Amino acid sequence: MLTNLEGGQTSKTKAKILIIDDDKDITNLFSIFLEYNGYSVEAYTNPMEAINNFRKNSHGLIIID
């Protein structure tokens, strides 16, 4: 949440992030960090599931191992 000059709060939309990695611990680490910082995260260890998600949704950033 951001505060504008008049003291009111404004929301800032952050990008949806897609994470693809075969190591579940890595996807969990990235997911926790990014969600804590306000991002919407979708993480996959299965590349075919990730490709299906990619085709159906838009993402601001994709992190691939």
**pLDDT tens digits for range 11-61:** 566 889 999 999 999 999 999 999 999 999 999 999 999 999 999 999 999
pTM above 0.85, yes or no: no
What topology is assigned to 15-64 in CATH?
A: Rossmann fold (3.40.50)
Q: What is the dihedral of CA 31, 35, 39, 45, to 10 degrees?
A: 20
C-beta separation of 22 from 46 below 8 A: no
